[in-house]
Structure 1
Amino acid sequence: MVASLLLPTCAFAAETLTLTGVMTGADHQTYREVPFRVPAGTTAVTVQFSYTGKDERSVIDLGLRDPQRLRGWSGGNKSRFTLTETWATPSYLPGPLPAGEWKLILGVPNLRKDARAEYTATITLDDSPVFHGFAEAPLKAGPGWYRGDLHVHTQHSDGGCPSQTGRRVPCPTFRTLDAAVARGLDFVAVTDHNTPSHFQDLAELQGAYDALVVIPGREITTFQGHANVLGMTAPLDFQLGGPRAPDVAAILNQVDKAGGLFSINHPGLPSGEACMGCGWTAKTDDARVPAIEVVNGVGATGPLSGIPFWEKRLSAGHRVTAVGGSDNHDASLAGLRGVGTPATVVRADNLSQDAILAAIRAGHVFVDTQGTRDRLLDVTARAGGVTAGMGDVLALEKGALVRLHIKVKGAAGGQIVVRSDEPKFVPPPIPIDSADLTTDVAFGVDGKRHWVRVDVLGPDGALWLLGNPIYLR
């Protein structure tokens, strides 16, 4: 066997090594280890492998060693694999990525006496903590409204469900994904308390759930409140008030560095022995918080709702997106207690982790409190030839006329309610007398900073759909 190492090239935060070589008949039923170096600070090692000679039934199997141990063996079943500290492609072990000499193991179970097989191994060494999702490409192309649940628990924290014989046992992760599929969701964030241990499950399961974006999450559970961190797999120190995370800013710094999304959970809940640290009391720079879970489970309204907490921050001038999450702890439950109630519905460029989180940051979101499959709320504001949607900013001069264009589907018998920090912008409720209603509301502005948004209520006044604001500046 002849091997060569091409000089590395850099692309963004990644270093790429190319290992090439030739196997001959003399390598039949032998193993070879091809060395390469991993620098300190590497966060992911990805191997892409190919070889010639398959038409002559040549076979080259793969494995990998780090400086201390065997990290895995995939044989001939994978041509690409990734290892990180918290997850790895099945066949390989997650864990620290020590600097030093690693070895790509090549096993040759078959190579004919006169055959020749040329191989190429492209090794990408990434030093960025940013994670773009377990799926390598969007699961659906093109913009659309995508429905999901941003808050569920499994056996990796306190999620439980019935076993085969009916005993309550820690609930396997796949049960939650099955429940999300049964509910018609497009994405689900698995947010076990503080731990990254479920990321390996998600890495293994994403390929089998190829119409459901599986987002890694953690519910950071502190003595001063709970918050979801979505879309990052890098290690995270969560011990708020201790030396590892002395304040919320220290946690936010880690999240921002890794490209994650931070969302305060159920801020309206009380804190005490019944729910330790559930309400949000931590000192926080609200300008750094991109999202708040205003609907937790069926608690859309009433004294435990997160809506007043959120609207107080809107009126203080902050742009923050309202989301919802079921906080489901038992994947066997259905209906209003199941995965997908409520659903967070996002207008995203495609069905991928990056696009979903970008839509949440932008505020292109409404919350379907009952987790239906088809209810829709789409709101735009237009003035002076400029149009803005939910989450967007509309720049206005004093006296400008704003026209809200409201589209509602699947809510016949309900009513549209406009909400704002300025009562003059709020018309009387508008009855919804058809399954597909479009209506306009117009008002003049005073040139000051305001927000305006739209909700849909049921006949009994229950909140069905909660819209995010359009910001008037």
Structure 2
Amino acid sequence: MSWRLPDPGPVPPGWVRVDCHLHTVHSGDAVSTVEQIAQRVAAERIDVVCVTDHHSLDGAWEAVARDIGARVVVGEEIRTRAGEVIGLFLTERIPYVLPLPEVARRIRDQRGVIYAPHPLDPNRTSLGAEGLRELHEHGALDVVEVCNAKISDPDHNEAAADFAARCGIPAAAGSDAHDPPGIGAAYLHMPDFDGPTDFLEKLPEARIWGEYRDHVGWQPGRSS
């Protein structure tokens, strides 16, 4: 199955393209080096990348130090007992397999953003409807990923979008790239921002674009 969203058009002045979810070799199941990310963000004209490796900030800090030609948001995709959640704008790594409320608290303690990746994809360790409701009911869900380029069935993205709309939670998009060809497969057009608070304030204005791009450089069946 393949899908592609309509092109949102040219980026207005003062707006940026943001890929909210991608991985480097530091994830363990990804093959993209920081040098390859630099090449791809130039080719795809991405302005901001959220580097969200599994249980590591090393790739994000390496990208910051490398100056890859795009602004880097330091993030981490964290496996909790309830499913995976992403922390954005982090300064410290968060351990995996902690209870979901504890992970949310640790992200909040760093003044980070709590982001639900591929939340209703049944083929991955997603939060699912129960985890989404738990975070939302405790006021600990900042962003729902409604366009993930590695989800083959667009119904799962649409279900996430419906949840976000019903609950009034900002929506986002990420390539979830684990290999260079995947980078830029989904992104936001949004007003430029400065830090996590400004990001959340401007996110409701974002336009979402994405298309399905399967993994090509790593073995399926591993954590993603």
Query: Under TM normalisation by the shorter chain, which class is it?
Result: 0.7 to 0.9
Which of 1 and 2 has greater Rg?
A: 1
Higher strand proportion: 1
Match of 2:26 in 1: 156
Q: Is the 8 A contact 2:144 2:164 kept in 1?
A: no
- Counterparts of residues 5-84 of structure 1 (less than 5 Å): none
2-side partners of 1:185 and 1:302: how far apart?
23
In the other structure, the counterpart of 1:343 is: 187
Give CA deviations for 1:427-456 in whole Å, capped at 9, x if unaligned: xxxxxxxxxxxxxxxxxxxxxxxxxxxxxx
- Preserved CA contact (<8 Å) 1:185 1:340: yes
Question: What stretches of structure 2 of length at least 5 have no aligned partner?
Answer: 1-12, 213-224
Q: CA–CA distance in 1 between the matches of 2:112 and 2:171?
A: 17
Q: After the TM superposition, which residues 319-330 of structure 1 pair with which residues of structure 2 at under 5 Å, given as runs? A: 319-330=168-179
Map 1:98-247 → 2, pairs under 5 A: 144-157=14-27, 158-160=29-31, 171-206=32-67, 209=68, 211-240=69-98, 246=99
**Helix, strand or coil for the counterpart of 2:155?**
coil
The secondary structure found in structure 2 opposite 1:269 is coil
Aligned ranges 1:290-301 → 2 under 5 Å: 290-297=142-149, 299=151
Q: TM-score normalised to the size of structure 1?
A: 0.38
Q: 1:284 aligns with which of 131, 134, 158?
A: 134
1:360 aligns with 2:200: yes
Name which of 110, 119, 122 aligns with 1:258.
110
- Give the aligned partner of residue 160 of structure 2: 309
DSSP 3-state at the match of 1:180:
helix
Amino acid at match of 1:359: F
Q: Which has the higher contact order (CA 8 A, sep 6+)?
A: 2
Deviations 1:361-415 (A, max 9, x none): 44231211249xxxxxxxxxxxxxxxxxxxxxxxxxxxxxxxxxxxxxxxxxxxx
Higher helix share: 2
Instruction: Output the CA distance in 1 between the equivalents of 2:93 and 2:154.
Output: 37
Asked if the contact 1:300–1:369 (Cα under 8 Å) also holds between the matched residues in 2, the reply is: no
**Corresponding position of 1:405:** none
Cα offsets for 1:125-169 (capped at 9, x unmatched): xxxxxxxxxxxxxxxxxx721102111111101112xxxxxxxxx
Answer yes or no: is the 8 Å Cα contact 1:230–1:261 preserved in 2: yes
CA RMSD of aligned residues (A): 2.5
Kindly indicate whether the alpha-carbon contact (under 8 Å) linking 2:164 and 2:171 is maintained by their aligned counterparts in 1.
no
Contact 1:291 1:322 (C-alpha < 8 Å) held by counterparts: yes
| Structure 1 unpaired stretches of 5+ | 1-142, 161-170, 241-245, 372-473
**1:63 corresponds to:** none
**Aligned equivalents of 1:314 and 1:328: distance in 2?**
25
Whether contact under 8 Å (2:41, 2:184) holds in the other structure is: yes
Give the residue type in structure 2 aligned to 1:148: V
The CA deviation at 1:184 is 0.4
TM normalised by structure 2 equals 0.76
Identity of aligned residues (%): 22
